[in-house]
Structure 1
Amino acid sequence: MAPAADAKMSGIVAATFTPLTSEGEINLSVIEPYIDYLINKQNVKSIFVNGTTGESVSLSVAERKALAEDWCRKAKGKMDNVFVHVGCMSLKDSQDLACHAAQIGADGIAVISPSFFKPGTADDIKAFLREVASAAPNLPFYYYHMPAITGVNVPVRDVLNDIEDLIPSFRGVKFSGYDLLDFGQCVSNSQPNWSVVYGVDEQLLAGLVMGANGAVGSTYNYMGSYANKLITAFENGDQLQARAIQFKLQELLSFAMKNRFDLGVNKQLMSEVSGLSLGPPRLPLVQCPQEYAKSILQKYHSLFQDSRSM
C-alpha cells in the first residue's frame, strides 16, 4: 500500500485490537475478517494499529512488524489509511519499526512518549521524536499524547512550537488526554497541513467543538457507526442529535467503568459484538469474567439495538 501524499488522520479511526490465540500468540488469520467487519458493519475505513489498544508494549518488535505488515497488506484497496504506532521504550526499536513501516507502505506513523525513563521537557520529547522520524522521513509523522498512561504531562502546545523545523514530516497529534485547554491550544496553533485528532471516546463531541479533525479510539471498533453519525450530526449543526448519541456512548462506558473497564474487558466486548475471535489479552492483563462481559453486552444492545433511534 503506497502511502498517499496527502494521507491525514481524519474522521473516525479505529484503534485496533491485536488478535491472539488462546495460547497468547498473534493470530493473523483474524485480520482480514476484522477489516471487513470495520468497513461493512461500522463504516470505518481508517485504522491505527499497534497502539495502546493493540497491546504494543506487550509485543516483541518482530510481532509488531508481522502485525503491521499484515494489516497494511490486507487493507490495501479496502481501507483509506493504515497508521502504524511505532513508539517504544527503546529509541533504536522505534527507529527500526519506523523504517519498517515505510517499507510496508503504511500511510503514516505515530510515536508515544517513552514512559519508563521519561522526557522532562518539551525539548526532550521533540529530540526523541526527531530521531524516530528521521528513520522514515517521507512518512507523515504524528505525536501520540496519552499522559494517563505515560505519566508525561508536558503540554502538547509546547511540543508543537517550531516542531516542523526539527521534523519536516510532522503532520499532527493524536491527543488522548482530558485537558481541553491544551487540546484547544493545539488546534488553534496547528498548521493547515496538520491533523489534531481526539482520543477520549466518551468526550468526542467536546473534542469536535474544540476543532478536532477526527477521532482515534478503541470503542470505534464496535461503535464506529454511531460515532460517524455523531460527527455527521455535529457537522450538520444538529447539536441535539449529536449530544443524544454522545450521551448513549457515555452511558455504556459509565456502566462498564463501574467495575473494571480495562483493555481485557474492552477486547472481550469487541469479540462479543463483532463475532470475531480476538482471544485474551497478553499477561499481565487478563480476560474479564464471562458474566461481566455479558452484562456489558446486554447494556450495549439495550442502548444501540435500534439504530433508527439515532
Structure 2
Amino acid sequence: MNRHDQLNESRPDGQRPDGQRPDEASRPAPGGPLDYGGSHPVMALLTAVFTPFDEDGRVAYELVEKQAETLLAWGCPGAYVGGTAGEGASLTTAERMLLLERWCEVADGRLDVIAHVGHTSLGEARAMAEHAQRVGARAVSAVPPYFHRPTGAAGLADFLARVAEAAPGLPFLYYHIPSVTGVTIPASQVMAEARERVPGFAGVKFAHGDMADLQRCLRLAAERPDGGRRNGPDGHAGDEGSGGGGTGGGDGVEVYMANARLLLTSITMGARAAIGSAYNFAAPVYLRMLEHVAAGEAREARDCQLLAQDAIDAVAGYAGELAGFKAASALVGPDCGPCRPPLASLDAAQRAALREELGRLGFLAAVGAGGPEGQR
C-alpha cells in the first residue's frame, strides 16, 4: 500500500494505519488570544483553503505542501482548513482529521492552521475539536448545526460551547454563513451570547452581506469585558485608548470578514481581519489594495477591489463559485483538482474560456500569472 492509499484509508480517530500519530512534541503549544488584526497595519488576510482531490475524487494530501508554500510566498498568516471552500461537509471525519494533520505538519509553525470542526453531530464536532488541539491547530471554528437547527442565539451558543470545551487550550471562532447553513440568527446576537458562554471565544467569521449586523459585531468586538472600549467602530482607539488599532477587544475577540466582494467596505467600518477562499487566487490583488489603503490612496484601492470583484463574478459563472475558484487558483498556484459531487467541476473548454476571460479583465497580469506558471 502506497502513502496515498494509506492516507485515504485512515481511521476516524486520527491514528494512521501504521499506528503512528503526528509528533505532538514538535507541535507549537497552544497560544494565547488570536491577534491578527493588531499585528497588521491595515488588515490580515487568512485563506480558506481548498481540499485537493485527484481525478478519482480521493483527497490528494501530497498537494498540501504546495498549497502552504503558495500562501507563505504571499505572506498569508493562516490557513482555514475544512470549511466551505475545503468542502468539509463532503469529507469523512477520518479525511478531515488526516487533512488537518497534513496541514499542521507542513505549516510547522510558519503558518497558523485554523481547523473547521463544524458538523451536524455534536459528537463528531467534539471529536474533531479534541483532535485539532492534539495535532497542533492554532484555533478551532464551527458552523452551527445545519440540519436540526437552533432556534435562538442562547441555544446556539450552548451548542458551540460544547464543541469548544473539547479543545480547552484553543481559541474558538463561530462561522456565520446563513446562505449555506440556513441558520439566520444574527451573528451579533450569537456573538453576545457566545462571549459569555463559549470557552475561549475569539470571534466570528462573518460570511454574510448584512453590513448593519457586521457593524454591530465590530462594535461588540471593540468592547472590553469591563464595559470599556478598546477601539471605536471605525477601528481607531477610543477615548480610553489601547495603544493600537484593530477592533479586537481586550479578551481577544475579533471579527473576520469573509465576503471578499465587500472587503474594502468592511475596512472603512473597522474590520481588521479577513478569512476567505478568494485569496487562493486573488491574494496579490487584495494585498496591493491593502498597500494603497495604508498609503491613503483611495482611488487605487477602489480599483483593486473592483478588479477583484470583476474576477470573482467572472469565475463564479463557470459551474458555480467554488468550482470556478478552484479552477482560477490553478492559474496562480497548485491545481487542487475537481470538486466532489454533487458540486460540478469545469471541463477543459471551460477552463480555457475562464483563463481567456480573466486575461481580458487584466486580472492574470495583476496576479503575475502571465508566464509559464499561468499557462497550465
Sort the TM-score into its range (normalised by shorter chain).
over 0.9
Measure how far apart 1:237 and its partner are: 2.3
What do the CA deviations read for 1:66-122 (whole angstroms, capped 9, x no partner)? 00011011101432x111100001000000000000001111011101111111111
**Aligned with 1:273: secondary structure?**
coil
State whether structure 2 residue 325 is matched by structure 1 residue 254.
Answer: no
State whether structure 2 residue 331 is matched by structure 1 residue 298.
Answer: no
State whether structure 2 residue 75 is matched by structure 1 residue 43.
Answer: yes
Partner of 2:268: 209
Matches within 5 A, 1:169-188: 169-188=200-219
State whether structure 2 residue 107 is matched by structure 1 residue 84.
Answer: no
CA distance 1:257–1:74, shift in 2 (3 Å): closer
Measure how far apart 1:124 and its partner are: 1.7
What do the CA deviations read for 1:166-196 (whole angstroms, capped 9, x no partner)? 1230010000000000000000111412110
Aligned length: 306
Partner of 1:23: 56
Distance in structure 2 (CA, Å) of the matches to 1:165 and 1:262:
36
Partner of 2:34: 7
Residue identity matched to 2:87: E
TM-score (norm 2): 0.77
Matches within 5 A, 1:131-170: 131-170=162-201
Distance in structure 2 (CA, Å) of the matches to 1:207 and 1:164:
22
> Between Structure 1 and Structure 2, whose CA radius of gyration is higher?
2
Q: What are the ranges of 5 or more consecutive residues in structure 2 without an aligned counterpart? A: 1-26, 38-43, 224-248, 369-376
Q: What are the ranges of 5 or more consecutive residues in structure 1 without an aligned counterpart? A: none
**Aligned with 2:274: secondary structure?**
strand
Residue identity matched to 1:227: Y
What do the CA deviations read for 1:207-260 (whole angstroms, capped 9, x no partner)? 111211211111101111221222232233221111010000111122234454
TM-score (norm 1): 0.93
CA distance 1:20–1:110, shift in 2 (3 Å): same
Root-mean-square deviation (Å): 1.8
Please say which of residues 172-181 and 119-128 is displaced more in the overlay.
119-128
Distance in structure 2 (CA, Å) of the matches to 1:239 and 1:202:
16
Residue identity matched to 1:51: G
Distance in structure 2 (CA, Å) of the matches to 1:198 and 1:57:
21
Contact conserved, 1:273 with 1:297, CA < 8 A, in 2?
no
Contact conserved, 2:154 with 2:193, CA < 8 A, in 1?
no
Distance in structure 1 (CA, Å) of the matches to 2:52 and 2:364:
26
Q: Which has the higher contact order (CA 8 A, sep 6+)?
A: 1
